[in-house]
Amino acid sequence: MANELATSKDITNYLKHVFDLEKMLYQQNEILEHLRDSIGSVNYQMKLEPEIYQEKRPSVVGGIITAIACAFFAILVYFGYVFLKSPEGGAPGWFLNIMLGIIGIFVCFVVGGIILVVSNVVQTQSYNQQVRITNQENIEEIQRYRKNLLEKGKTLNDEYALLADERKKTKAVLNKFYSTNVIYPKYRSLPAIASLFEYMLSERCYGLTGHEGAYNLYESELRLGHIISTLDSISSDIKEIKQNPKVFSDKDLVLTDIFGIGSNMVLSLKYWLKVLGLVE
């Protein structure tokens, strides 16, 4: 096959097919990575539990103790009152009136304690009823949320399986092109293929091998730092530009400072981002 590509046009057309496949494979990998992240996010959200509020127990101990204690003292004072009112007791009327007042006070405390207990029970029951309603609403809401997540997760997994199959087909076609051994194994990557294709398309080179061939020009520009050899070396820059795709059009930004690379590499980076469709 290598010998059959006798003309510059044949090599250029071959490189175009390989470049399109490499670019498609890169884009498919990027989408699959995004789908994996989305699926992981869905799986994480499926573990979320509804917010459940705890019911309260009525606080009746204080009221009950108060009522019992006051009732006990009221009874004691009453028995004292009965004794002192009798001929044997002989207490004066004003003193008996005071005792009646004390009994009345204790009775009021007893009634107050009972009211406090009843009020606390009623309030607690009302609160617990609202808690049960709120908890049920939260449970139903999380169930609806999980149902939507299940549907979303199924859609994402179906898309992932479909695209993974397409990527497998793309890799098979690409490997078939590479199996012709037109391109040396060293240069079978998207950055290298894109550069070789650009050299041939722009007629900077008319062949792959030789002193003036595309391989030699690629190695020369690689040594000078004019081109990017791997996408891994600019992965952090790609992520930053995805977040701010207008970075190259902002006149006030010094790109060499932002990316920490030389001006030639900035141009190479911009070229790559155009190839990947991230900037215009």
Give whole-number Cα distances, 176 to 16, 18, 125, in Å: 15, 10, 75
pLDDT, residue 50, reads 86
Q: Do 190 and 22 form a contact (C-beta atoms < 8 A)?
A: yes
Q: Which of 192, 250, 97 is nearest to 240 (CA)?
A: 250
Confidence (pLDDT) at 125: 84
pLDDT the model gives residue 167:
94
What pLDDT was estimated at residue 251?
A: 46
The model's pTM is 0.62
- Least Cα distance to 183 among 227, 151, 214, 162 occurs for 214
Mean pLDDT by groups of 10 residues along the chain of 280 residues: 65 93 89 93 90 78 65 65 64 67 70 71 84 91 92 94 95 95 92 89 91 92 74 52 52 41 50 54
pLDDT for the residue numbered 191: 85
The Cα–Cα gap between 249 and 253 comes to 9
